[in-house]
Amino acid sequence: MTDTPQAPQQDAMLKRLARIEGQVRGLQAMIRRGEDCEAIAQQFAAARKALDRAYQELLACLLEEAVLDPQQDSRATLARVRSIFTKYT
């Protein structure tokens, strides 16, 4: 990965996803061990919340790119933002 302005954001997202991956592996292990359903549900909720937060970060990045695009006028920018919300939320 080159050292671009987005590199820190990409690194942060990759770290976040690695933590989520660890949570999912932990869930698999809990299920294999036959742990209590409520404990598993609690971990599921934590993993879902973490994934939702990562997705929100990605959407924020996508919106920033749309808003800060110097080649688009305000109407095109608003159309792009509307498209992002309609498609991804």
Q: Give yes or no for residue 4 having a pLDDT over 90.
A: no
In a 10 Å sphere around its CB, with 0-12 CB exposed, 13-18 middle and 19+ buried, how is residue 4 labelled? exposed
Question: Per-residue pLDDT tens for 55-71?
Answer: 999 999 999 988 888 88
Q: Give yes or no for residue 16 having a pLDDT over 90.
A: yes
- What pLDDT band is residue 89 in, cutting at 50, 70 and 90? confident
Question: Per-residue pLDDT tens for 27-41?
Answer: 999 999 999 999 999
Q: Give me the pLDDT at residue 6, please.
A: 65
C-beta separation of 1 from 10 below 8 A:
yes
